[in-house]
A and B are shown apart, each in its own frame.
Chain A
Amino acid sequence: NAGVTQTPKFQVLKTGQSMTLQCAQDMNHNSMYWYRQDPGMGLRLIYYSASEGTTDKGEVPNGYNVSRLNKREFSLRLESAAPSQTSVYFCASSEFNRANYGYTFGSGTRLTVV
C-alpha cells in the first residue's frame, strides 16, 4: 500500500529558481494538504484542498501556489524560491476535510534553497 507518495525526496535550488513538489495518494481521499516543518516549530499548513476542484490558503501561503490536478494529485509550486523556504515539506490526505478524520502523511521532501 503506497498511501501518500511525494517526489522528489531531496532538492537543492538556487534563490529565484522555481520548482514543483508532487504529491499523489491512492486511498481515494477527498482532502489533501501541504505542510512545512521547520526546526523547533510544529508543522504549519501552507495550502489545502478540501475536495477536487477547490484549494484554500492555510497558515503560511505566501510564496507558494498549488494545483489539485485530480482527486489523487496535489502539487505545490514555488515560483521564485527564497532561502526562507528551506524546509521539509509534507503532503497529507484525509477522507474528508473535518478535524475528526485521520490524516495520512507522505515521507516528505527536504528542500534547500541557497
Chain B
Amino acid sequence: KNQVEQSPQSLIILEGKNCTLQCNYTVSPFSNLRWYKQDTGRGPVSLTIMTFSENTKSNGRYTATLDADTKQSSLHITASQLSDSASYICVVSRNSGYALNFGKGTSLLVTP
C-alpha cells in the first residue's frame, strides 16, 4: 500500500530555534516528493519538490533532503519565525499516472 508517514505529529519550538520534520514513505515506483506548508484556514502552498536524483533542495530557510534508498525525507527549518507556525505536509507521487499520496502533516507552533 502506498503510504506516507510523518513525524512528529506536532512540535512546539521557540522563535529563532531550528527544527527538523520527518517523512517516511512506501510509495512505489517513486516519482517525486514535495513539502507543502499549510497555514490555518488556507490551502497548502508548495515549498519544495524533489525527484529521485535530487537529495537536497532549499527554499529560503527551508531545506528538504531526500534519501530515495531508505525512502526518507526531512524538512529542516532554520532560525524559525512566528510565521512558520503551520502544518507541514509531505506528499509523494508515483511514477505513473497523476495520484498524489499525502501525509497527515506535522503541526508546528513557534512561540515567542
Q: Tell me if B99 and A107 are in contact (CB < 8 A).
A: no
Q: 0/1 per residue, A78-114, Cβ < 8 Å to B?
A: 0000000000001010000111101101111000000
Closest CB of chain B to A103's CB: distance in Å?
Answer: 7
Q: Tell me if B102 and A107 are in contact (CB < 8 A).
A: no
Interchain residue pairs with CB less than 8 A apart (10): A43-B102, A45-B99, A48-B98, A99-B32, A99-B93, A99-B97, A100-B31, A102-B46, A102-B49, A107-B43
Closest CB of chain A to B55's CB: distance in Å?
Answer: 17
Closest CB of chain B to A7's CB: distance in Å?
Answer: 14
> In chain B between 62 and 104, which residues have their CB closer than 8 angstroms to a CB of chain A?
89, 93-104
Question: What residues on A are CB-neighbors of B94 within 8 Å?
Answer: 99
- Check if A50 is an interface residue, CB within 8 A of chain B: yes
- Check if A53 is an interface residue, CB within 8 A of chain B: no
Question: What residues on A are CB-neighbors of B45 within 8 Å?
Answer: 105
Question: What residues on A are CB-neighbors of B103 within 8 Å?
Answer: 42
State whether A42 and B4 are in contact (beta carbons under 8 Å apart), knowing that A98-B98, A99-B32 are contacts in the complex.
Answer: yes
Closest CB of chain B to A76's CB: distance in Å?
Answer: 15
Which of A41, A42, A97 counts the most chain B CB atoms within 10 A?
Answer: A42
Q: Tell me if B43 and A105 are in contact (CB < 8 A).
A: yes
Q: Tell me if A105 and B93 are in contact (CB < 8 A).
A: no
Closest CB of chain A to B106's CB: distance in Å?
Answer: 12
- Check if B42 is an interface residue, CB within 8 A of chain A: yes
Closest CB of chain B to A8's CB: distance in Å?
Answer: 14
Which chain A residue lies CB-closest to B98? A97
